[in-house]
Amino acid sequence: MVYFIGAGPGDPELLTIKGKRIIDQADVIIYAGSLVNEDVLKDRKPQARVYNSAYMTLPEVIRVMEEAEADGLTTARVHTGDPSIYGAIREQMDALDELGIVYEVVPGVSSFVAAAASLKKEYTLPGVSQTVILTRAPGRTPVPEKENMASLAAHKATMIIFLSVGQIGSLAGTLAESYGWETPAAVVYKASWPEEKIVRGTLKDIGEKVAEAGIKKTALIVVGEFLGNDYELSKLYDAEFETGYRKASH
C-alpha cells in the first residue's frame, strides 16, 4: 500500500493526525526534500528506509514504490502542503494505477492556508471578494495562455501566486494594470517555519520590499483588497438573519 501524505507547510504540528500515524508506521518513506520539514519524519520506525525525491526521477520514485509493494511493505510518499496543489501527484497515481498498486491520499494544510493564518486575514471578505484564485507565473512549467496573469487579474479577486516570487517585479506591473498600483499585496516566506517572514506593501512597492528582504523562493504572493480593512459583516452571524441553527433575534 502507498500513502500520499500532505505534510503541511512546515511546522511539524501542522501535519494531520492521520498523516503522522502513517509516516510513523511506514517501512519506506519518500519525501520531497526541497520543502518538507524533516522533523515530520522524526518519529519514524528506526528501520524505515528514507528517500529524498529531490534527487530522484519519476521512474525512480515509482520503482521504489514497486519494490516496497513486492516485499509487502508500506510506503509513505510525503509531499509539502497538500499534494493536490503543484504536487506532481497525478503522474505518480497514474503510474501506480497502471501497475495495479493500491494507494490512498491523505490531505494536508496547504501553504496558502498557512499564509492566511500568518497574515491573520480572511481571503473571502463579504463585499470585497468571494473568489480565491490560486495560480503561478510560467516557469519551467508553462501556464496555459487562457490563464494568463492579466486575464486572471481582471477579476480583482483574491489572488495567491505560488512558485513565482522571483518574478515579483514584473508580475506586480501586470497585476497593477487591473488591480491598480495602490492595491495591497503581501509576500509570505516560509509560512509556519521559525524563519517565516512577512512583507506587506502595495503593488507599487512590494517588488522593492521583497528584494530588500532578500526573498527569492519558498514564498507566496497574495494580492487583493482582502488585505485592507473595508468589508461588510457576514450574513452567517448577522442577528437579523435566521440560519438552519438559529432564529433571528428580533
Residues near ligand SAH (CB under 6 A) are 9-10, 35, 79-82, 85-87, 110-111, 114-115, 162-163, 188, 190-193, 218-220
Whichever of 75 and 110 has its CB closer to ligand SAH, that residue is 110
Measure the CA–CA gap between 140 and 194, rounded to whole angstroms: 29
At its nearest, how many Å lie between ligand SAH and the CB of residue 223?
A: 14
Q: What is the DSSP letter of 8?
A: B
At its nearest, how many Å lie between ligand SAH and the CB of residue 117?
A: 11
- Residue 225, C-alpha cell as written in the block: 483588497
Q: Is 107 exposed, middle or buried (0-12, 13-18, 19+ CB in 10 A)?
A: middle
Whichever of 192 and 202 has its CB closer to ligand SAH, that residue is 192
Whichever of 69 and 110 has its CB closer to ligand SAH, that residue is 110
Report strand pairing: 158-162 vs 219-223: antiparallel
Whichever of 9 and 19 has its CB closer to ligand SAH, that residue is 9
Whichever of 87 and 184 has its CB closer to ligand SAH, that residue is 87
Please list, residue by residue across 200-236, b when 16 or more beta carbons sit within 10 angstroms of its beta carbon and e when fewer do.
ebbbeebbebbeeeebeebbbbbbbbbbeeeeeeeee
Residue nearest to ligand SAH (CB): 81
At its nearest, how many Å lie between ligand SAH and the CB of residue 133?
A: 14
Whichever of 69 and 77 has its CB closer to ligand SAH, that residue is 77
At its nearest, how many Å lie between ligand SAH and the CB of residue 82?
A: 4
At its nearest, how many Å lie between ligand SAH and the CB of residue 207?
A: 16
At its nearest, how many Å lie between ligand SAH and the CB of residue 198?
A: 10
In 3D space, the residue among 117, 96, 90 whose CA is nearest the CA of residue 8 turns out to be: 117
Measure the CA–CA gap between 219 and 66, rounded to whole angstroms: 34
- The residues with which 8 forms a beta bridge, in sequence order, are 81
Listed in sequence order, the residues at least 6 apart from 69 whose beta carbon sits closer than 8 Å to its beta carbon are 1, 2, 75, 99, 101
At its nearest, how many Å lie between ligand SAH and the CB of residue 100?
A: 27
In 3D space, the residue among 70, 80, 60 whose CA is nearest the CA of residue 1 turns out to be: 70
Whichever of 217 and 246 has its CB closer to ligand SAH, that residue is 217
The CB-side HSE value for 1 (13 A sphere, CA atoms) comes to: 9
